């Protein structure tokens, strides 16, 4: 029971951090909210028996991507307080509906909970469940694809910042 | 317990999608995409947990995270270049681009 409460609190914290990321007017606060959401999500993933994916989520998503976001924000200038106050008013009209929308979706899901037939046709138990064996064995082509995507991204960024 | 995770995934995806649709800022649009990817990552891990194939789910999640990083890096490169050329991050000001 305690574990269920803890899991529910963690999932709720991820959603709250995500909504804060969307709602806040400062981009820097958005990036920090996203990092917090990633860090809490890493705990959730760890509790779902996926420690390697949790480590990736924490180090890459909460660390590297946050650093990239903050670097980009610092490279793209700053807003004046006047611009910020105008933006705040404009943002409220566009994003003020989001918490209401989230609550409505939550209520709708709660009401229809008993009416949605969820039947899980679970497959046979896995032969191999070790992520290292799967990643280097049956999903080796994925690794090749990852390397290609990484190289494509690196060449893309080099092309963007090439001096004429 | 599955229901709690399911609701969390739906709400996180909805927040990201709303951010992507409602914003005019390029960086914030990428943040919306990032939130949606997080929801999908949690969904993959949850599917692995339910079916007992956590190893396979982790392999997929790691692939997803690698692709996510590349998307972010390239998107940020594009955004910085757009800012250098137009001095703005507002998509309304870059609608008259060629191509």
Q: Which residues contact A36 (CB under 8 A, 6 or more apart)?
A: A17
The partner residue sitting opposite B74, judged by closest CB among A15, A18, A153, is A153
8 A C-beta contact, residue B21 and residue B13:
no
- Greater pLDDT, A80 or B2: B2
Look at residue A98 in the predicted model and tell me its pLDDT: 81
Average pLDDT over residues B72-99: 84
Determine which helix (DSSP H) or strand (DSSP E) holds A26, and give its type and residue range.
none
Look at residue A102 in the predicted model and tell me its pLDDT: 84
* Percent of chain B at pLDDT exceeding 70: 97
Residues of A in contact with B5 (CB under 8 A): 7, 11, 44
Residue ranges in chain A whose pLDDT is less than 50: none
Distance, C-alpha B18 to centroid of its chain = 12
- B95, pLDDT greater than 90: no
Give me chain B's average pLDDT, please.
Answer: 89
Could you report the per-residue pLDDT of B30-76, keeping only the tens digit for each?
999 999 999 999 999 999 998 888 888 999 999 999 999 999 999 99
Interchain CB distance below 8 Å, B31 and A34: yes
- B16, pLDDT greater than 90: yes
Q: Which residues contact A163 (CB under 8 A, 6 or more apart)?
A: none
8 A C-beta contact, residue B68 and residue A149:
no
Residues of A in contact with B73 (CB under 8 A): 68, 153, 157
Domains and CATH numbers, chain B: 2-94 (1.10.287.3510)
Place of tokens 């960024």: A157
Average pLDDT over residues B9-14: 93
Q: Is B68 touching A (CB cutoff 8 A)? A: yes
pTM for the predicted model, two decimal places:
0.86
Look at residue B37 in the predicted model and tell me its pLDDT: 95
């Amino acid at each position: 029971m305690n574990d269920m409460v803890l899991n529910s609190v963690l999932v709720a914290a991820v959603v709250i951090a995500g909504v804060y990321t969307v709602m806040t007017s400062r981009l820097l606060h958005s990036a920090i909210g996203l990092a917090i959401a990633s860090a809490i999500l890493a705990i959730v993933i760890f509790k779902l028996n996926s420690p390697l994916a949790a480590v990736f989520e924490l180090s890459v998503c909460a660390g590297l991507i946050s650093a990239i976001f903050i670097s980009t924000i610092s490279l793209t200038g700053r807003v004046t307080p006047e611009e910020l106050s105008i933006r705040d008013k404009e943002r409220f009209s566009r994003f003020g509906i989001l918490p209401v929308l989230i609550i409505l979706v939550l209520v709708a899901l709660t009401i229809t909970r008993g009416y949605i037939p969820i039947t899980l046709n679970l497959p046979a138990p896995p032969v191999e469940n070790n992520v290292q064996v799967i990643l280097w064995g049956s999903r080796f082509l994925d690794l090749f694809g990852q390397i290609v995507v990484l190289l494509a991204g690196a060449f893309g960024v080099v092309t963007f910042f090439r001096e004429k | 317990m599955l229901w709690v995770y399911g609701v969390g995934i739906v709400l996180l995806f909805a927040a990201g999608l709303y951010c992507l649709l409602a914003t005019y800022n390029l960086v914030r649009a990428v943040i919306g995409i990032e939130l949606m990817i997080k929801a999908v990552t949690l969904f993959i891990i949850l599917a692995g947990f339910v079916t007992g194939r956590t190893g396979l789910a982790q392999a997929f999640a790691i692939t997803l995270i690698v692709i996510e990083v590349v998307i972010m890096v390239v998107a940020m490169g594009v955004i910085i270049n757009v800012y250098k050329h137009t001095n703005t991050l507002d998509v309304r000001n870059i609608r008259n681009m060629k191509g």
